[in-house]
Structures are given as C-alpha cells and as structure tokens.
Amino acid sequence: MLERLYVNNFALIDELEVEFGSGLNVLSGETGAGKSIIIGSLSFVLGGKADKDIIKTGCDMTEVSALISVEDGNVIKELEALDSPPDEDNCILIKRTFNTNGKSVCRINGKPATVSMVREISSLLVDIHGQHDHQSLLDPSSHMVMLDRLCGQEIVSELDRLGRLYADYREVSAKLKRIDTSDKDIQYKLELYTYQRDEIDEASLKPGEDEELSERRNVLMNSVKLKELINDCLDCLHRNEGCATDSLGSAIDSLEAISDIDDTQAGTLEALNDAYSIIEDAVKSIRRYEEGMESDPDELDRTEERLQLIYELKNKYGGTIESILAHRDRVSEQIELIENSEALAEEYSARKKELEKDIRAVCSRITDIRKKTALKAEKDIISILKDLSMENTLFSINITPKEGFDEKGADKVEFLISANRGEALKPLSKIASGGEMSRVMLALKNILAEVDNIDTFIFDEIDTGISGRTAQKTAENMLAVSKKHQIICITHLPQIASMADKNFLIEKSTAGERTSTNIIELYGEKVYNELARLIGGAEITKATLEAAKEMKLMTDKLKEN
C-alpha cells in the first residue's frame, strides 16, 4: 500500500507530503489545478520517463519519494529475489531525483538502484492506469498471469506438475545434446580425455599438498642455518657450562634447602621444578626436530620435482589442485558418455519422448482450464463494462497454441477488445482512450480482486465521458475493488468522490509571479463542500450542499453492506 508521497520542486509543486490510507483515496479539484501533476510525480518515482520540464522553474533538481508497505508474502519473496527486501517494518522506500543536467538518481531503502530496477520492483507494488505508463494490462506477457490467477487452485497443481516435468525434460535434453555420435572427432576426443585423466591420476594429487611441499622446501633450503640455530638453542638450554638446566638445577637445590627451613617457599620450589620439566621437554622436542633434519640429500630435489609437476598441471587444468581434480571428474564423465554414447543416446531419447508425452498431456489439461475460465471471465468483464458505459464493447481472452512448450504450458494468452460496434477485436495496446483503458482495468480488477497480488491501483481519466447511472456503477465497482486493494483515484464525479475513505483536494494558488499546486486532506464539512462543488459547479448553494450530504449518507450506507 502506498503510505506516503513526498514531492519537492516537481512541475508546479514547491513541496508537499501526503499520507494515503487503505481503501479508496479520491483526489479532486478544479480543472487546471494540477491533478495530473500528482499522477506525474508518482509515475516519475516509480520509474517513469523524465525530462527537464518536470523540474520546477528556477530550481536545479526535483525529488520524489514513495513509502510503500508490503503485506503479501509472495510479493515479499519476489522482492527478496530482486535483492530489494522490505525493511523490518515491511516497507519499501523509493526515492528518485532528477537534475537540470539530465541525471537521474534512484535509491531503494537507501541503496543505490537503476531506473530499470525501480521500474521492476514498483511493477510488483503499484499499477497506474490512465496514462499508458506502468500498465500491466498493456503487457501481453502479464495476461497469462492474470488468467492463471483466476483459474485458482485448479491450475496451480497442474502447473506444479508441469514445472517438475519440464525441469526433467530440460535436464535430459541437455544430456542428450552432449552426446553426439556423429562427431567426426569423437575418437580424437576420447584419446585426449583419456590422456588427461590418466595424467592427473598418475600424479595422485592431494588437496593442500602444494602448500605442504612449499613449506618443506623452505625448510630443506635453509637446513644449514636451521642446524646452527638448533645447536645454539641446545647449547644455551642444556650443553654449555652454566646452561639453563644447570643454573635452574642449582637454584632448585638452594630453594629445597630454604624450604626445609621455611616452608613458605614450597610454592616457589614447585614452580621452579615445573620450569625445569618444561625446559627438559623443550630440549627433547628440539632434539627430535634436529633428528628430523637429518633427511636424505635427495629430498630437496624430489620436492622441487613434485612442485614442478603440480605447477605444470595447474597451467594445463586450473590454478589449484582442486580445479585440476574437478577437471579430471569432467573428462571422466565425457569418457563415459563417449564410450557409452549409443546406449545413453537411446536411453535419453526414450526418456525425452516419454517426458514430452506427459508434458503434452498436462499442457492440454492446462489449456482446457484456461479456456473454461476465460469464457466466464469474458462474460463477467463485458457485463461490468456495460455498466461502465461501454455497452458495445467486446472483450476476448484469446488463447492460441505457441510453438513448443515451457514451464507455463503451450499457450499464448492475450486480451483483445473492440470498443465500438463493427470494429474487429484488437490488442489492448491499440486502445487510444485512457478512460476506456482505465475502465477495462477496473472491470478486470473487479473479478481479480481476490487473487491479485498488486496492492495499489491508481486510476486517472476513468470518469472521462460518463455521468449519471454509469458514474454510479463506476463508483460501486471501484468500491468493490477497494475492499481488497488500495485505490488512488483522480475524479471530477461526485458519485466516486462520495465513496472515498479519504478525500483530498488538489488546488492551485498564485503568489506574485509564482504558481503552486498543493494537496489537502478533507474532513467533515469540507468533504460536503467539495462534493457540493462537484455536483453544482464552482458556486456552492444550500441545495447542492444538501444534495452532497444526502449522497454521502447514501454511500456510507452502501459501504456498510
């Protein structure tokens, strides 16, 4: 849900911040007050096109921020997959700036983002209708998603089954592709792979061996210096007159005599005895180390040769022993494929045919489900469109077979429409009127209300060319959708404005040579005044005010049902 919108230096807006609510939010105002600027700022922050004209005259930069809360678990997972998870409050803050140099900067929860990233993320959260921007309805790739949501659980299980089968099909196809019995160089490849495998096997490599050998080589190359240092250690600790063990032994003898007279030094004596034992252990350890230095004179040469072999294998097959062994596993797999190519090709081909047969069967059931659901959806949408003053409209969900199949089935789905009697059905993108497009979307959202993941719908121009009963039906349809989703709607119709859970007035003011647009939330009597203005025009009379109150009372009762 769009919680808050902040706009700074955008077109005629100096600075404004507005908090929207759940349900139906209605924005109204005089013609020319700047209602389209609010939608423009929303489109901008959600990744729409930008040019220097959007920057308020005399300013260097514009800034728009949108705070959007997310409740749907599936949407949260999709946002996480896009590396843009909501914060701890389950909110996404999208901020976008644009300066007079044409530079656009976007941030999502404080992290830098591209415009395309913002557009992809916002498409999961908000649908704007009326300006042919941000409209999922115009993208044929989204039509199958919408239809499948209407199909409900019946199609979910079939799509899950298809997904598993298709994954197996792709895996088998990949294995089969790696087997080419007609390859003229097959014998050469077999000999090459065999040579590489045998060369690596013969080396008998062990992970980490190169590091151990390097350390051992360093010791062997410094053996003379190490022996000198060992002798120095042993001389100081044990060999020379006055060495550590002799001196410590004399000290222990004296302290034993002291302890016989004064037992308060017993602890010190024990400590000296421990120190003597530690030195003796150190001497033994150094002697063992010295004995280990007495290696055969050829060990250094053998170590160098081994390291050279590992170095050569690294150059051939990878920079580490682990990558060499991984290469060995890969060529072994290739050898097995070549040696058993005919049998494996036959096995994989049979499996592929079996999977294709199963997939075709599942795809057929999916197509049947889609066609059955589409027939009902077409009737429902056409019925709603008639209520919305589009009596001659034909709406069709066109389902045709596509070449091959994938994890979504074997269908192409596209919504087609004929808005006028005698016109052929055409793709929705061919509709010129933003008002017609908005009403089609309203009808579709009405029947999708229970299953649509997008939480916020923004409607502009939806009331173009309608009034009276049609306006009332439009308002009632909007109310129905707003019970499941947040709606933000710009309107000049009192029937729609009276249905609002929150009313906002967009007004333009002039101070000196500067003109500004602002938005104000309306309460109490101010709501009645705005409804009266929408009913009767600029002049609010007692009659129009009474009519406004009566309309609001009636809609409040309708909303309670």
User: Encoding tokens for residue 147?
Assistant: 């239809």
Residue 519, classed as helix, strand or coil, is strand
The top-scoring range by mean pLDDT among 143-157, 269-283, 399-413, 430-444 is: 399-413
Residue at 380 is within a domain:
no
473-495 per-position pLDDT tens digit: 888 888 888 888 999 998 888 99
Task: Note whether 462 and 404 are same-domain residues.
Answer: no
pLDDT recorded at residue 554? 87
User: Encoding tokens for residue 532?
Assistant: 């009266």
Task: Note whether 405 and 281 are same-domain residues.
Answer: yes
Confidence of residue 341 (pLDDT cuts 50, 70, 90): confident
Task: Note whether 272 and 405 are same-domain residues.
Answer: yes
Backbone torsions φ then ψ of 16, nearest 5 degrees: -150, 155
Task: Note whether 402 and 501 are same-domain residues.
Answer: no
Q: Residue 95 is part of which domain span?
A: 2-125+454-560
Confidence of residue 237 (pLDDT cuts 50, 70, 90): confident
Q: Cβ of 67: how many Cβ atoms within 10 Å?
A: 18
pLDDT averaged over every residue in the chain? 86
- Tokens 């390097």 sit at which residue? 214
365-379 per-position pLDDT tens digit: 999 999 999 999 999
Confidence of residue 136 (pLDDT cuts 50, 70, 90): low
pLDDT surpasses 70 at 184: no
Task: Report the C-alpha gap between 484 and 165 in whole angstroms.
Answer: 35
Task: Note whether 191 and 300 are same-domain residues.
Answer: yes
Q: Cβ of 147: how many Cβ atoms within 10 Å?
A: 23
Task: Note whether 266 and 401 are same-domain residues.
Answer: yes
Task: Report the C-alpha gap between 6 and 468 in whole angstroms.
Answer: 35
pLDDT recorded at residue 162? 95
106-132 in b/e burial notation, b at 16+ Cβ within 10 A? Answer: bebeeeebebebbbbbbbbbbbbbbbe
Q: Domain with 512 in it: what CATH number?
A: 3.40.50.300
Nearest alpha carbon to residue 508 among 117, 32, 82: 32
Task: Note whether 191 and 241 are same-domain residues.
Answer: yes
Task: Note whether 409 and 527 are same-domain residues.
Answer: no
Half-sphere exposure of 537 (CA within 13 A, CB side): 1
Residue at 447 is within a domain:
no
Task: Note whether 23 and 77 are same-domain residues.
Answer: yes
Confidence of residue 323 (pLDDT cuts 50, 70, 90): very high
pLDDT surpasses 90 at 401: yes
pLDDT recorded at residue 366? 96
Residue at 244 is within a domain:
yes
Residue at 120 is within a domain:
yes
CA dihedral (402, 405, 406, 411) positive or negative: positive
Domain count, the chain: 2
Task: Note whether 309 and 410 are same-domain residues.
Answer: yes
Task: Note whether 426 and 462 are same-domain residues.
Answer: no
- Report the run of H or E that residue 189 belongs to, with start and end: helix 186-203
Helix, strand and coil in the chain, % to nearest 5:
55, 20, 25
Confidence of residue 186 (pLDDT cuts 50, 70, 90): confident
70-115 per-position pLDDT tens digit: 988 888 888 888 888 888 888 999 999 999 988 999 999 999 999 9
- Tokens 């799509």 sit at which residue? 159
Residue at 442 is within a domain:
no
Task: Note whether 324 and 427 are same-domain residues.
Answer: yes
pLDDT recorded at residue 294? 64
Asked whether the whole model's pTM tops 0.75, one would answer no
Residue at 219 is within a domain:
yes
Residue at 394 is within a domain:
yes
Residue at 267 is within a domain:
yes
Nearest alpha carbon to residue 8 among 68, 80, 73, 61: 61
Backbone torsions φ then ψ of 28, nearest 5 degrees: -135, 170
Confidence of residue 429 (pLDDT cuts 50, 70, 90): confident
